[in-house]
Structure 1
Amino acid sequence: MGWQPVILEAADRPAGSWPRYYDSLTLFSPARCGSLPEMPFDGDLDRCPHRDVVITCLLRYTDRLDADIRTRTRVLEVSYGDGAFGLSLEDGSQLEARAAVAATGAFGRPHRPDLPGLAGYAGAVLHSANYRSPEPFTGQRVVVVGAGNSAVQRAAECARVTPAARHAVRFARQRTLGRYLHLWLARTGLDTQAVGRFLSTPPTQPVIDDGRYRRAVIAGRPDRRPLFTGISETKVIRADGAAEDVDTILLATSYRPDLGRLAPLGTFSTSGHPRHREGVPLAHPGLVHVGLGWQRSLPSNSLRGVGRDAVRAVRHVAAHLAHIGEAGLGSGRAG
Structure 2
Amino acid sequence: MTRRTDVVVIGGGQAGLAAGYHLRRLGIEHVILDAQTAPGGAWLHTWDSLRLFSPAQYSSLPGRLMPVQEGDLYPDAAHVVAYLADYEKRYELPVQHGVRVSAVHRDGVFLRVATDSGDWRTRAVVSATGTWTRSFLPAVPGRHGYQGRQLHTVQYRSPSQFAGQRVIVVGGGNSGAQIAADLAVAGIDLTWVTQRPPRYLADDIDGRALFDAATARRHALDAGRADTGGVASLGDIVAVPPVRAARDAGLLTPTPMFTGLTPTGAEWADGTRAAADAVIWCTGFRPALAPFAALRLRGTRGRIAMEGTRAADDPRLHLLGYGDWTGPASATLIGVGRTAREAARDIRYLLR
Q: 1:22 aligns with which of 32, 37, 47?
A: 47
CA contact (8 A) 2:68 2:75 kept: no
CA distance, structure 2, for counterparts of residue 317 and residue 250 of structure 1: 41
Structure ranking higher in helix proportion? 2
Match of 1:251 in 2: 281
Q: Normalization by structure 1: what TM-score?
A: 0.86
Q: 1:276 aligns with which of 306, 317, 331?
A: 306
Whole-angstrom distance in 1 between the partners of 2:86 and 2:242: 33
In 2, Cα distance between equivalents of 1:163 and 1:113: 16
1:87 and 2:113 aligned: yes
CA distances 1:48-76 after superposition (whole Å, capped 9, x unpaired): 22111111110111113344321100101
Within 5 Å, give how 1:235-314 maps onto structure 2: 235-295=265-325, 297-314=327-344
What's the offset of the Cα at 1:212?
Answer: 5.8
8 Å CA contact retained: 1:182, 1:191: no
Q: Deviations over 1:108-161 (max 9, x none)?
A: 311111111101101100101111111010111000011001111111111111
CA apart distance, 1:183: 3.5
Structure 1 counterpart of 2:73: 47
List gaps (5 residues or longer) in structure 2. 1-5, 7-26
Question: Contact 1:292/1:300 (CA < 8 Å) preserved in 2?
Answer: yes
What is the aligned partner in structure 2 of residue 99 from structure 1? 124
2:170 pairs with 1:155:
no
Distance 1:296 1:147 in 2: 24
The corresponding residue for 2:202 is: 173
TM-score (norm 2): 0.82
Q: Give the Cα–Cα distance (whole angstroms) in 1 for the partners of residues 212 and 331 of structure 2.
A: 19
Distance 1:213 1:300 in 2: 24
Which aligned segments of 4 or more residues in structure 1 are displaced greater than 6 angstroms?
A: 195-199
Q: 1:196 to 1:137 in 2, by over 3 A?
A: farther
* Structure 1 residue 168 displacement after superposition: 1.4
Cα 1:277–1:251 shift into 2, 3 Å: same
RMSD across aligned C-alpha pairs, in angstroms?
A: 2.6
* Residues 209 and 196 of structure 1, relative CA distance in 2, 3 Å threshold: farther
Q: How many residues align?
A: 316
Amino acid at match of 1:88: A
Q: Given residue 191 of structure 2, which amino acid in structure 1 is its aligned partner?
A: T
Instruction: State percent identity of aligned pairs.
Output: 31
Aligned with 1:169: secondary structure?
coil
Which stretch has the larger CA shift, 82-91 or 147-156? 82-91
| 1:249-274: CA deviation from partner (whole Å, max 9, x where unpaired) | 00001111101111111221111012
Q: CA deviation at 1:189?
A: 6.9
Distance in 1 (CA, whole Å) between partners of 2:192 and 2:87 is 37
| Pairwise CA distance, 1:101 | 0.3
1:207 match: secondary structure: coil
Q: Does 1:317 align with 2:347?
A: yes
For 2:62 and 2:301, the matched residues in 1 are separated by 34
Question: What CA distance in whole angstroms lies between the structure 2 residues aligned with 1:222 and 1:188?
Answer: 27
| Partner of residue 30, structure 2 | 5
- Is the contact between residue 191 and residue 305 of structure 1 (CA under 8 Å) also seen in structure 2? no
Give the C-alpha shift of residue 186 in structure 1. Answer: 5.5
Q: Distance in 1 between matches of 2:173 and 2:89?
A: 34
Shift of 1:283: 1.0
Question: What is the CA–CA distance in structure 2 between the aligned matches of 1:288 and 1:278, rounded to whole Å?
Answer: 9
